[in-house]
Amino acid sequence: MKFGKEYEEQMVPEWVEMYMDYDGLKGMLREVRHSRVPKTPLRSIHQRISSMYSSFRGTESQRSRRDIEDSVIKVSPLVGESNRTSYRTRILFSSEEIGAEEEVRFFEKLDDELNKVNRFYQDKVDEVVQEAAELMRQMDAYIALRIKVQSPGITMEPLRDQTQAAEAPLSSETSGDNSGKEITSLTNDDATDPLNVLNRVKIRNTLHGPVSVIRGVLRDFKDKNLSFSKAELKQAEELLKTAFTEFYKELRLLKNYSFMNLSAFAKIMKKYERTTSRYAAQSYMKVVDKSYLGSCEEVTKLMEDVEHLFIKHFFNANRRKGMRPLRPINRREKHRVTFLSGFFSGCTIALLLAIILMMRARKIMEKGRDTILHMLMYAGVIYFWKLYRINYPFILNFKQGTELGYREVFLLSSGLAVLALATFFTNSNILIGLTLSDSKNYAKLIPLFVLLVFLGITFCPFNIIYRSSRYFLIKCLFRCICAPFYEVTLPDFFLADQLTSQISAIRCIEFYICYYSRKDFPRGQNKCHDYGAYDAFYFIIAIIPYWIRFFQCLRRLVQESEYIHGYNALKYLIAIVAVVIRTVYELKNGTPWLVMALISSAMAVAYNTYWDIVVDWGLLCWNSNNFLLRDRLLVSHKSVYYIAMVINVLLRVAWLQLVLEFNVRGLQKTTITTTISCLEIIRRGIWSFFRLENEHLNNVGKFRAFRSVPLPFNYLGDKSD
């Protein structure tokens, strides 16, 4: 693999602009090459001379090379603001030479890139040093709490030898381990009395879960005092494990950032030598190696300290187990995923053709269409996220190495499609060939059996069919249901937004329960509306996704105190009103209900369309360099954004068909409803891509490449207290 390709793949997506512009410098070297008159390369001359007189003039050859290097460029360090060093290169050859002007511009660009990379790297190192100091304070409190819990009889001001005796079981490492500065030696004021720190800390109330939220509200959201319980210790340990894992990941990416940029400078200087036949690489790389980027060892020392502390206190000095969560997990592409995806796709096409030729329809199996299409759209969206380097695993908070790619999602989609279509095809053919009513009843149980199999796989506790992803989905779904009682993260409201497009599919679950719970279920589905409970749940199910998003917005409004979440909650409240009135009109009809449904639906469509394009996508910026778009775009073709905005408006307006009920010749009402539901799924897929693109660009603007992890302890007197 060429270095340029590897360099691009190794970039942290949120830091792309802060890497050395390797492609830009290569382009400038091409301009230098085109401006020069072809001539015998200086390097070739010296190589021939050295080969002819290698036994006699080895020393003179080395001296001549140093003289050439010294006479080509001179790099001068300049101390600027905040005592930070910048570099400027001055060429020592004649500026009247052919191509010299292009070379001057090349070195100016090269210096700017070196200064940019140095400043960014130093800023990031300063940040991790501050984070390390905070982790040190947290570890002081954790170690003291652990000693107190494991040795309840110990006093709050123990003798030094008594404390050392209590702390001994924490690690089996020898005292002679001098592998670097240990992070635990942080608070010098508590060096003699390590347990004294417990008098100055409280457990942070994260308001996580229904019980903690209620308690937090009753206690006015204040942190609580330590209870010295094992549950409290375990909670603190889990939070610190996660914090150390994320911090180590940040250090690892910083180290890789330094290595890749140093490699890029070395590569570009070699290309400069080959292009101009001037020896300048060694001189410039000496400066690069002495710069902050090449000379700072703080990241390496912090990595060693984190490894030592993490393994010692959380894994009882077992390095093999302790390094496992710290090492990166790389996903491996499996050929069987591609093979099975192609196989299931072929089966799906064959079954569709068979069903079309059969020209028969059973409404029971029409109910799974939305979910399959939604999964196919999600697979396509993941493909484009990856194509445009949108860091969706970080944004959606997937566990490293377990996120599903578009191949895996497409495999699940095609497999589900084969299952649904094969069941429909089998069920229809059995009903055609059977005459006994009892046999037909058993045949109509086939869709129920398939649904139970699907639910069984989803909630299966065994490690099959991407268990970690299924668990993540169930966890997010549970947090959505308990929306007001959990801190709202992007995966939570992203899933809830997807559910708002699945109302038809969710209503199908209610129909399944009604259809199969009746003894006379084979007689038809229309009798479900004869039950008042069915109609009541028909309302409730339709508003549940919007109700979830409404509560999520209120939670964020209270927690973050940003009024935009209140306006977002109003949007979902209007949608709830529109859905309720539209459902009443669907069940009762009548001109008054039609007028109210049109007005409420039109308001909801206008509000939601504006919010999609302006807030979620960040488009329609009047002062942007790109007309009605953002300043920063990932898709190079601007027409894609304009088309997406138009499609979003049209597909939003298509929902008014459910109210107006235009009669289309040859199409039944169920077919029109199905078509509109599928169009909504397509609209949601388009929305998903641009929503995460906007979120990714916001993270890039803030260079935010790591998720913030809540810490267990809060020191008295801190600003967060």
**Entry field: residues in the chain:** 721
Q: What is the mean pLDDT of residues 410-438?
A: 75
Q: What is the mean pLDDT of residues 402-430?
A: 83
Banded model confidence at residue 540, pLDDT cuts 50, 70, 90: confident
**Lowest mean pLDDT, pick from 477-486, 531-540, 553-562:** 531-540
In one letter, which amino acid is 145? L
Q: What is the mean pLDDT of residues 509-529?
A: 69
Dist. CA 379–CA 344, nearest whole Å: 15
Q: What is the mean pLDDT of residues 547-560?
A: 92
Range with top average pLDDT, 270-284, 295-309, 315-329, 653-667: 295-309
Lookup: tokens for 235: 């909670």
- Give me the pLDDT at residue 520, please: 63
- Say whether pLDDT at 527 is over 70: no
Banded model confidence at residue 613, pLDDT cuts 50, 70, 90: very high
- Give me the pLDDT at residue 144, please: 87
Residue 525 per-residue DSSP state:
S
pLDDT tens digit string along 24-42? 999 988 888 887 655 444 4
In one letter, which amino acid is 207? L
Dist. CA 473–CA 469, nearest whole Å: 6
**Lowest mean pLDDT, pick from 255-269, 380-394, 407-421, 648-662:** 648-662
Contact 72, 91 (CB under 8 A): yes
- Give me the pLDDT at residue 49, please: 39
- Give me the pLDDT at residue 463, please: 85
Each domain of the chain, given as residue ranges in start order, spans 1-328, 334-466, 482-498+514-721
Banded model confidence at residue 190, pLDDT cuts 50, 70, 90: very low
pLDDT tens digit string along 71-91? 578 888 887 766 788 889 888
- Give me the pLDDT at residue 507, please: 81
**Distances in Å between the alpha carbon of 43 and those of 31, 49, 268, 500?**
20, 10, 17, 68
- Give me the pLDDT at residue 364, please: 42
- Give me the pLDDT at residue 354, please: 78
Neighbouring CB atoms inside 10 A of 267's CB total 18
User: Could you give the angle at the alpha carbon of 192 between the alpha carbons of 190 and 193, nearest 5°?
Assistant: 60
Banded model confidence at residue 176, pLDDT cuts 50, 70, 90: very low
- Say whether pLDDT at 608 is over 90: yes
- Say whether pLDDT at 104 is over 60: yes
SS3 category, 77: strand
Lookup: tokens for 109: 């660009």
**Mean per-residue pLDDT over the chain, rounded:** 79
Q: What is the mean pLDDT of residues 368-380?
A: 80
- Say whether pLDDT at 675 is over 50: yes
- Say whether pLDDT at 424 is over 80: no
Q: What is the mean pLDDT of residues 404-426?
A: 86
Q: What is the mean pLDDT of residues 511-530?
A: 68
- Give me the pLDDT at residue 194, please: 67
Banded model confidence at residue 55, pLDDT cuts 50, 70, 90: very low
Residue carrying structure tokens 């001549």: 64
pLDDT tens digit string along 298-350? 999 999 999 999 999 888 888 888 888 888 777 676 788 888 888 888 888 88
Lookup: tokens for 198: 């417990």
**Lowest mean pLDDT, pick from 322-336, 566-580, 641-655, 666-680:** 666-680
Greater confidence (627 vs 199) lies with 627
**Distances in Å between the alpha carbon of 73 and those of 94, 228, 544?**
11, 65, 69
pLDDT tens digit string along 554-598? 999 988 888 999 999 999 999 999 988 888 887 777 788 888 888
> What is the helix (H) or strand (E) element at residue 681, kind and residue range?
helix 669-701
Contact 341, 414 (CB under 8 A): yes
Dist. CA 317–CA 305, nearest whole Å: 13
Contact 463, 532 (CB under 8 A): no
**Lowest mean pLDDT, pick from 184-188, 249-253, 498-502:** 184-188
Banded model confidence at residue 46, pLDDT cuts 50, 70, 90: very low
Q: At what angle do helices 669-701 and 490-499 cross, to 10 degrees?
A: 160
Contact 484, 554 (CB under 8 A): yes
Q: What is the mean pLDDT of residues 605-627?
A: 92
> What is the helix (H) or strand (E) element at residue 392, kind and residue range?
helix 392-395
Q: In sequence order, what DSSP letters do the residues of 212-241 get, joined into one string?
A: HHHHHHHTTT--B-----HHHHHHHHHHHH
- Say whether pLDDT at 696 is over 60: yes
Lookup: tokens for 80: 């600027």
pLDDT tens digit string along 153-168? 655 444 344 444 444 4
Banded model confidence at residue 124, pLDDT cuts 50, 70, 90: very high
What's the start-to-end Cα distance of the chain, in Å? 52
Neighbouring CB atoms inside 10 A of 625's CB total 10
Greater confidence (53 vs 367) lies with 367
